[in-house]
Amino acid sequence: MKERRTGPGSTAPRIRILWGSAIAIGPGKADLLRAIDETGSISAAARGMRMSYRRAWLLVHTMNECFRSPLVEAEKGGSRGGGASLTETGRQVLAEYREVARLVAARFGPYLERESSRAKSRRINARCRPRSRP
């Protein structure tokens, strides 16, 4: 599985699409969709992202509820072991989200600081701390 593209260490803008008070899709949910598409399983995607199955399932449920048609279809286990896949809508939404995130990063990136001031101060404080003496 590819490494996660978003997260605390990332300096790219983070885009979230809200539907009411729910986050319909954001960077973490987009990563989860990508992982489900790659693995064919909510469980395997969750493991790969170091997330509980319950958390992944709740995120999928929220996405499926926010959009007109589901983004992920899941089959219960059985003789074939179940699985999950993105629907055509799920693939389209993921592609559109990635494009919007790319456009926002390209357009706003030049105006944003490359490193947050909080991260800068942590880095500076770590260098300036006096060493403990035995």
pTM score of the predicted model: 0.76
Domain of 78, in residue numbers = 17-128
Specify the pLDDT at position 63.
Answer: 98
Q: How many helices (H) and strands (E) does the chain have?
A: 5, 4
Does residue 8 lie in a domain region?
no
CATH label of the domain that carries residue 84: 1.10.10.10
Count of structural domains within the chain: 1
Nearest residue to 13 (alpha-carbon basis) of 2, 25, 24, 27: 27
Does residue 11 lie in a domain region?
no
Mean pLDDT is lowest, of 12-16, 25-29, 79-83, 119-123, for 119-123
Q: Considering the chain, what is the average pLDDT of its residues?
A: 85
Does residue 4 lie in a domain region?
no
Does residue 2 lie in a domain region?
no
